[in-house]
């Protein structure tokens, strides 16, 4: 028997996630509540544990209802990965059979799962969808050993250049730092012809993940030139967002910020730095992450699809948007991001 519940309202979920060895920051109620507050997505967990019983497994989703890209469930929107927290193939098969029924009953376009390492059941309804590169850095070696593994020209020398330039370094989650981060985010998204996430998304993450979220900013004099936003969960540091002023890339601001994050994570006894996913076509980003001595693997998403509904309208929407956003004024650019992100989870 498979049961469902709202993980934000049921205290069992937070306790289960806190103690589960394969959970991530994306499973937490803070991430789920931020998705709900910003985009209106409805979180739901599928489990074989009866109501009121201690949870032994669970797969968390968000219901996405869009007049533009259709109705679907995603595990989870804007998360690089979200491991199904099941303990046996039998549990997984039972939940996935129930999901197939949900797909048909609610006439969803698809149900997407973003596993990190768990092998999904070999069910005919489960199809591979998107593929990404995924990088992690083992933080257990000594700092000196980690530094020696960095690529000399692209990473080591740029870190030293940033230190020679005496770049100003700030970290925290204040409104001042958020505004610096967001101005750089606008520059970066314009450079890539992509809409920016609404600033409310970041404010909600700061509010709901306080203590787990850090914004780091590097400045040259009074001018912010690079920023990264990281999240923590258990012994893992997660790089989630990065942005920069390209005209100052020669000063090494971004490598400098990653190095600061690594040093601070080591100081807190963390063991893993999750560098996140990269599009397989983004060879520049993949190369940058390779140069840190990371381990690269394949991140494969899967979908349970309805018959005749295989088109990925949200991806097509993004491609059309990229052409429209070139040279768009800031105010319209920000408004477009606020409108579109709820449709492209």
Q: DSSP of 170-191, one letter per residue?
A: EEE--HHHHHHHHHHHHHHHHH
Per DSSP bridges, beta strands 272-279 and 295-305 are unpaired
What pLDDT was estimated at residue 134?
Answer: 97
pLDDT > 90 fraction of the chain, expressed in percent and rounded: 78
pLDDT in tens, 207-264: 999 899 999 999 999 999 999 999 999 999 999 999 999 999 999 999 999 999 999 9
pLDDT in tens, 73-85: 999 999 999 999 9
Per DSSP bridges, beta strands 236-244 and 59-66 are unpaired
The tokens for 98 are 């129930």
- Which helix H or strand E contains 296, and what residues bound it? strand 295-305
Q: How far apart are CA 17 and CA 48, in angstroms?
A: 16
For residues 324-332, give the mean pLDDT.
Answer: 65
**CATH number assigned to the domain covering 140-270:** 3.40.630.30
pLDDT in tens, 162-188: 999 999 999 999 999 999 999 999 999
CATH class of 3-132+300-306: alpha beta
The tokens for 137 are 């850095």
- Which helix H or strand E contains 55, and what residues bound it? none
Instruction: Assess whether pLDDT exceeds 90 at residue 122.
Output: no
Confidence of residue 127 (pLDDT cuts 50, 70, 90): confident
Helices H, strands E: what count in the chain? 11, 12
Confidence of residue 340 (pLDDT cuts 50, 70, 90): confident
What pLDDT was estimated at residue 326?
Answer: 56
pLDDT in tens, 85-113: 998 888 888 998 999 999 999 999 999 99
Q: What is the pTM of this model?
A: 0.93
What pLDDT was estimated at residue 121?
Answer: 64
Delimit the CATH 3.40.630.30 region(s) of the chain.
Answer: 3-132+300-306, 140-270
């Amino acid at each position: 028997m498979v049961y469902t519940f709202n993980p934000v309202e049921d205290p069992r979920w937070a306790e289960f996630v806190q103690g589960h060895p394969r959970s991530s920051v994306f499973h937490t109620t803070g991430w789920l509540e931020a998705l709900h507050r910003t985009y209106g997505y409805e979180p739901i967990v599928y489990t074989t544990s009866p109501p009121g019983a201690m949870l032994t497994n669970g797969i968390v989703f968000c219901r996405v209802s869009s007049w533009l890209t259709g109705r679907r469930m995603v595990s989870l929107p804007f998360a690089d990965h979200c491991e199904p927290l099941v303990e046996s193939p039998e549990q997984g098969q039972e939940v996935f059979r129930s999901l197939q029924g949900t797909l048909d009953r609610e006439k969803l376009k698809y149900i997407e799962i973003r596993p990190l390492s768990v092998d999904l059941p070999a069910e005919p309804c489960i199809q591979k969808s998107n593929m990404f590169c995924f990088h992690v850095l083992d933080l257990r070696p000594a700092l000196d050993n980690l530094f020696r593994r960095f690529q000399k020209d692209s990473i080591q020398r740029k870190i030293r250049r940033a230190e020679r330039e005496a770049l100003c370094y700030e970290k925290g989650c204040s409104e001042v730092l958020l505004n610096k981060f967001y101005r750089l985010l606008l520059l970066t998204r314009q450079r890539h012809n992509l809409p920016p996430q609404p600033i409310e998304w970041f404010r909600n993450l700061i509010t709901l993940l306080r203590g787990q979220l850090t914004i780091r900013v590097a400045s040259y004099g009074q001018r912010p030139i690079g920023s990264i936003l990281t999240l923590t969960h258990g012994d893992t540091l997660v790089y989630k967002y990065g942005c920069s002023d390209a005209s100052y890339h020669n000063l090494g601001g971004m490598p400098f910020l990653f190095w600061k994050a690594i040093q601070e994570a080591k100081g807190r006894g963390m063991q893993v730095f999750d560098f996140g996913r990269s599009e397989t076509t983004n060879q520049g980003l993949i190369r940058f992450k390779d140069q840190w001595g990371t381990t690269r693997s394949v991140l494969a998403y899967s979908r349970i699809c309805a018959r005749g509904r295989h088109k990925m309208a949200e991806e097509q929407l993004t491609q059309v948007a990229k052409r429209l956003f070139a040279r768009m004024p800031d105010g319209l650019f920000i408004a477009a991001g606020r409108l579109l992100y709820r449709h492209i989870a």
